[in-house]
Amino acid sequence: MIESSSILALDGVTKRFGQITALENFGVDIRKGEFITVIGPSGCGKSTLFNIVAGLESPDEGRISHHGKPVAAGDLLGQVAFMPQQDLLLPWRTVLDNAILAIELEGTPRSEARRMAMDMLPEFGLTGFERHYPQQLSGGMRQRVALMRTFLFKRELMLLDEPFGALDSLTRSMMQRWLLEIWRHHERTVLFITHDIDEAIFLGDRVLVMSARPGRIKLEQHIGLPRPRLGEVVTSEAFVQLKRKLLKELEEESMKSFTP
Ligand code: ADP
Ligand code: MG
């Protein structure tokens, strides 16, 4: 099998905030087309990792390379599409105008941006809602608007920070299936943070389990489950075994950072 090319690699990345070391000696190589999920106890540096990959923070130590070339963190600004933990929809903008925010800021004329967004509405299940305001939408629809904004900002690498965290489990599982469909269709590379092990296994080609702070990679698990991963996959023996293994690692780390 030919390995796909590296989009972004971190090597030995350490990030401190004063006395606190958020990330320590962190390394990952993200290859074209992959769906990588990241799980770890809260406060272990997941969002810090994203901020570095998005170019919003600079590491104190370590190297970053983009398509094999060494870069400074700041060079990555604007190279990566980033959906932060909160959906950040502006209440005074319609669905359509929220979706085009990132490409409009980038200089796409509003009329053209709106046309591009209109074309994407059906795929994101938002047809007929283009003139609605965020407060008129369900949680799942708001998440789809935020995702549509991230997809419209066409970058090969997308970072999604717990995008389905606020959804009930049924909506969440429908959104997961839907996200996999559009990931395939749009041929993007995804780095996806979650605190949900089932979600990490269901979505990922690889799962990175992070240690308690300072965040390192504790385990990198390849997920060989066939795609599309239909209902029976989540109840299969292979899935349950992966879950048991990852749960053990995650629980060990969570206990370390748990101080009642
Ligand atoms: P996670 O997303 O895994 O919950 P974060 O990356 O948000 O964790 O945070 C990791 C650690 O770094 C936490 O202890 C947090 O308080 C600290 N931290 C994150 N960002 C900052 C910052 N800008 N200034 C100071 N401390 C920070
Ligand atoms: Mg976080």
Give the DSSP letter string of 73-97.
GGGGTTTEEEE-SS----TTS-HHH
Burial class (CB in 10 A: 0-12, 13-18, 19+), 156: middle
Closest ligand 1 atom to the C-alpha of 49?
6
pLDDT of 64-111, one tens digit each?
A: 999 999 999 999 999 999 998 877 899 999 999 999 999 999 999 999
> 219 — phi, psi (to 5°)?
-150, 135
CB distance 58 to ligand 1 below 6 Å: no
CA 16 to ligand 1 center in whole angstroms: 9
Closest ligand 1 atom to the C-alpha of 85?
2
CB distance 193 to ligand 1 below 6 Å: no
Which ligand has the minimum distance to the alpha carbon of residue 51? 1
pLDDT-above-90 percentage for the chain: 79
Pocket test for ligand 1, best of 17, 51, 250, 259 (most atoms within 8 A of CB): 17
Closest ligand 1 atom to the C-alpha of 193?
2
pLDDT of 207-225, one tens digit each?
A: 999 999 999 999 999 999 9
Q: Among candidates 39, 42, 31, which has minimal Cα distance to 9? A: 31
Which ligand has the minimum distance to the alpha carbon of residue 163? 2
CA 22 to ligand 1 center in whole angstroms: 6
Please give the helix or strand (H or E) that residue 31 lies within, else none.
Answer: strand 20-31
Q: State which residues have CB under 5 angstroms from ligand 2, the bound ion.
A: 46-47
Q: Among candidates 38, 19, 44, which has minimal Cα distance to 258? A: 44
Which ligand has the minimum distance to the alpha carbon of residue 213? 1
DSSP 5: P
Question: Measuring CA to CA, how many Å separate 152 from each of 57, 80, 158?
Answer: 24, 12, 11
Using CA positions, which residue lies closest to atom 20 of ligand 1?
A: 48
CA 68 to ligand 1 center in whole angstroms: 28
pLDDT of 120-171, one tens digit each?
A: 999 999 999 999 999 999 988 998 999 999 999 999 999 999 999 878 888 8
CA 56 to ligand 2 center in whole angstroms: 14
| pLDDT tops 80 at residue 194 | yes
Using CA positions, which residue lies closest to atom 27 of ligand 1?
A: 17
